[in-house]
Structure 1
């Protein structure tokens, strides 16, 4: 693990960027005065307190989280795994003439604890947004990927615990880790409200080959187990199907994997979407509240798909073949299941007079 060095020119460019960041953060040392040095140390300490690491920063959600963190004044370290990841950042103009101050890259493999530890060193917080996707799978996600994702989640949280500087971790899970149970609509033993206390049944997911839901459920549970009994503060955010500008181009495989079983979710009132910008803002706001009230799980969505036409439009946007779209049963015939993200709404409500309102016009229905 280290700063990316695929070629000499790449090494020079990244080192130049890092040198510029260091110069920007410690320029006061050049004056040589004691007051200037003390000011520089204070400035350096403040910068360290605002330094976080993001895994999966080239993904649809990860990139939005990085951008939102930068807007909020954080220094962001991107944990990249391959040269392809850096190429993606270049395509998105994260670096170069229009690059952003306050962001730099390190190499880290989510399956390599030592590289994760080195990547997290010096950061006070970690945002684990990375997700494993197998393009060779029918839906882009296989049973094997579910096991790998759970292992990666465990490795990341254990690395956070091991790294002395890291105090907080925000883990990106999925609403799919909450919604899948046997006979939800007919078994009165289960609540009709799906909230942060709800967990998907792993056996049900296996039986119905809902591998993406299985992977998210297993990964989140693995993260909670790894953090149990430690000083690490952990929260998990469970977003619905993440949409937004360009999501077909930039997030096709996870979206298609998410929609496996979508007909059943639509019929039960559990198919929801979340705009990527709102998801990113939720990550930052929850992270900032972790010193006081934030904890546990947070469901994040801004729209519930209730009409067949809306679902057909989702299929069209993803380039999926149109199929039979079931019409949800009337409320007087089948008890409706309801999604609830009031916990996230309550956390955000204290900031309702701030910029938050611009990003969360609707929090629950």
Structure 2
């Protein structure tokens, strides 16, 4: 058994060893995260790592082939590179879920966290024996999200990057201000540029938002009421309504597409609805509140959609896997549209919001005028499941 060993060093090259590698990268972001949320993220990260250790242990007991045996007859370096990926904000609510899914699918993962305090707490877990993993190594390297060169070094050896970064501004009314939208755009620009410069990175999956598709002005022709991956929100509407989270995601995604085109980088973007799951508001408060700004209008127009955190993580990994073929582009991701009082009551209980602030006394069934479509993602996921069943 290999214990989880922490060290602070430069990014390492993949080896032929039979092991899942997790590399935690510290980003100096220049913003503060909420302490309560941070603790919840670390607790979930610990649970996830212990769970993964148990999974790998069962595989060994059942006599399944390890990764080294699976690579026989193939080009070892190429296959190992294909299995090494990086996840930004890997200790965030979404990041943890994506890392967990990647590990289950046999990937090696470099995780990016925000600050050195996280690293110290993770070291404590390892020293106490809470995080001893079978065939896993946990290492720490440093990088700056404000520095393209630093990110390029951090991505070295990775075939793919999942950029899931979320940004917190405690001074903002909703936790996400106009200033934070600019920070998000700049950070995403740096990540995509680093991916394009990196000699090893081939694919990038960017987490965007459904909000980048739904905000239109009143003159929009409602006879065309279908909203799918081809639709884009109007920046002027986001500015007018002060929808800073939507604006940040919108500008970040548009810029990412431009940069990816310049560098001939294969890019896919996932546009999820409100991310839900166990204690989602407690563990992910700032993005949740920021997403829900404008909630009454979303509800009355039939655009208030949610997605389960684990399904969203699976969608990220499946899209990445299909990018070797032709799965680039945008994907809307949601499980359900909240269009009845039961769904609204549940959301109110989870978030602590009152019913009137969500529905505003209106009924979605009386005012819904748009239809959300996630058909492109559903088709891809169905196709992947069929291939796996064969």
> TM-score w.r.t. structure 2 length?
0.76
**Compared CA separation, residues 198 and 104, structure 1 to 2 (3 A):** farther
Q: Is the 8 A contact 2:225 2:369 kept in 1?
A: yes
Give secondary structure in 2 for the equivalent of 1:255.
helix
1:12-161 mapped onto 2 (5 Å cutoff): 13-14=6-7, 24-25=17-18, 42-86=75-119, 96-100=129-133, 101=136, 104-161=139-196
Tell me what 1:307 maps to. Answer: 340
Q: Distance in 2 between matches of 1:259 and 1:267?
A: 13
CA deviation digits over 1:194-232, x for unaligned, max 9?
110111111111111111111110111111111113221
The CA RMSD measured in Å over matched residues stands at: 3.1
**Compared CA separation, residues 87 and 279, structure 1 to 2 (3 A):** farther
Give secondary structure in 2 for the equivalent of 1:52.
strand
Tell me what 1:5 maps to. Answer: none
Q: Distance in 1 between matches of 2:268 and 2:84?
A: 18
Tell me what 2:208 maps to. Answer: 173
Tell me what 1:342 maps to. Answer: 375
Q: Is the 8 A contact 2:15 2:80 kept in 1?
A: no
CA deviation digits over 1:287-331, x for unaligned, max 9?
000011201100000011001342232122122344352333546
Which structure 2 segments of 5+ residues have no match? 20-68
| Deviation (angstroms), 1:84 | 3.2
Q: Distance in 2 between matches of 1:39 and 1:46?
A: 10
Q: Distance in 1 between matches of 2:296 and 2:288?
A: 14
Q: Distance in 1 between matches of 2:123 and 2:291?
A: 28
Q: Distance in 2 between matches of 1:225 and 1:343?
A: 22
CA deviation digits over 1:255-297, x for unaligned, max 9?
0111111110000000000000000000000000001120110
Q: Is the 8 A contact 1:122 1:165 kept in 2?
A: yes
Q: Distance in 1 between matches of 2:294 and 2:284?
A: 18
Matched, 1:276 2:309: yes
Q: Is the 8 A contact 1:116 1:156 kept in 2?
A: yes
> TM-score w.r.t. structure 1 length?
0.81
Q: Distance in 1 between matches of 2:343 and 2:365?
A: 17
Q: Is the 8 A contact 2:344 2:355 kept in 1?
A: no
Q: Distance in 1 between matches of 2:167 and 2:260?
A: 21
Q: Is the 8 A contact 1:78 1:106 kept in 2?
A: no
Which structure 1 segments of 5+ residues have no match? 1-10, 27-35, 357-365
Q: Distance in 1 between matches of 2:311 and 2:125?
A: 20
| Deviation (angstroms), 1:335 | 6.4
Matched, 1:351 2:344: no
Give secondary structure in 1 for the equivalent of 2:271.
strand
Q: Is the 8 A contact 1:79 1:105 kept in 2?
A: no
| Deviation (angstroms), 1:103 | 5.5
Matched, 1:213 2:233: no
CA deviation digits over 1:74-126, x for unaligned, max 9?
00011233113335757998x95445526544322221112101110110100
Q: Distance in 2 between matches of 1:230 and 1:305?
A: 39
